Amino acid sequence: MSEPRKLAVEAALAAGRIQKERADNIGEIHYKGEINLVTEVDLLCEKEIIGRIKKEFPSHAFLAEESGATAGDADHLWVIDPIDGTVNYAHGYPCYCVSIGYQCRGEVVVGVIYNPCLDELFVAEKGKGVTLNGKPISVSTTTELKKSLLATGFAYDINESSINNLNHFRNFIKACQALRRPGSAAMDLCYTAMGRFEGFWELKLHPWDYAAGWLMVEEAGGQVTRFDGSPFQMGDRSVLASNGHIHQDMVALLQQGSG
């Protein structure tokens, strides 16, 4: 196991322990927008993760949801979401996770996502596959959109913006077997990687939402692109991920709703 992978696993598990210990005592809640919140636990978890990584790699750079960008060696960037699914966490809804991605020279090479509610630890390393609790996982073999379970999410500006995913939601819910909206993009990507979902799409995401999960899907044999099927890049805001078999069907539906 590489040192960044080992460190990411240890940091994710440590943050997950904090989340479990504080589940009934989340402390103060602050709002970054009308419905976009951050809890005291988010900040504690982010501090724990960054502190552990800095101890081993003091020169590395960071991009974290709560503290933003921290200067350092740009060839080594850690992309961190201390709690992906904070609204779920604040309401006691058991769908949230820790997400840590490590980007080396512009490429995400390590991804670790830990779901403390189900004690699910997803670990991916570039070229070495992806595991759930130590066992290899792969995307589903479903080839028909009509037999596919899909997932999506909605941005926090849904009340203010006309670009709100409702058009895509309407199109997909009529075309697939069923559609879910769990509230954690990182978990949606993990579940696409392991075959629980056949596909996932979402608008207006940030790198900390998808860095680790992006690697999970690709290492599990799936496909991640922009909505039009073109290559996905760090910094893109709209993500389409699938088992690969239904990808072009999803692209076609997303293009129908693009206007």
pLDDT in tens, 47-74: 999 999 999 999 999 999 999 999 999 9
C-alpha to C-alpha distances, 140 to 16, 96, 144, 193, 223, nearest whole angstrom = 27, 22, 11, 8, 12
CATH of 3-135, one of 3.40.630.30, 2.40.10.120, 3.30.540.10, 3.40.640.10: 3.30.540.10
Looking at residues 172-182, what average pLDDT do you find? 97
Q: Which of 35-49, 101-115, 135-149 has the lowest mean pLDDT?
A: 35-49
The reply to whether CATH 3.90.220.20 applies to domain 145-256 is: no
Q: What is the DSSP letter of 147?
A: G
> How confident is the model over 82-95, as pLDDT tens digits?
999 999 999 999 99
* Range 140-145, long-range pairs (CB < 8 A, 24+ positions): 140/195, 140/196, 140/197, 140/198, 140/243, 141/195, 141/243, 141/245, 142/198, 142/243, 142/245, 142/246, 143/245, 143/246, 144/246, 145/175, 145/176, 145/198, 145/246, 145/249, 145/250, 145/253
Helix ranges (DSSP H) in 57-165: 86-91
pLDDT for 34 beyond 80: no
Return d(Cα 217, Cα 198) in angstroms, integer: 11
> How confident is the model over 213-236, as pLDDT tens digits?
999 999 999 999 999 999 999 999
**The overall pTM is greater than 0.75:** yes
Confidence of residue 259 (pLDDT cuts 50, 70, 90): very low
Looking at residues 107-121, what average pLDDT do you find? 98
Return d(Cα 140, Cα 79) in angstroms, integer: 27
| Three-state SS at 32 | coil
CATH 3.40.190.80, the chain: domain bounds: 145-256
Are 237 and 203 in contact by the 8 Å Cβ rule? The answer is yes
Confidence of residue 2 (pLDDT cuts 50, 70, 90): confident
> How confident is the model over 136-156, as pLDDT tens digits?
999 999 999 999 999 999 988
The two structure tokens encoding residue 257: 């709703």
C-alpha to C-alpha distances, 246 to 73, 183, 198, 203, 233, nearest whole angstrom = 39, 22, 8, 19, 21
C-alpha to C-alpha distances, 204 to 7, 62, 222, nearest whole angstrom = 29, 20, 21
Q: Which of 35-39, 142-146, 255-259 has the lowest mean pLDDT?
A: 255-259
**pLDDT at position 162:** 82
CATH 3.30.540.10, the chain: domain bounds: 3-135
**pLDDT at position 1:** 61
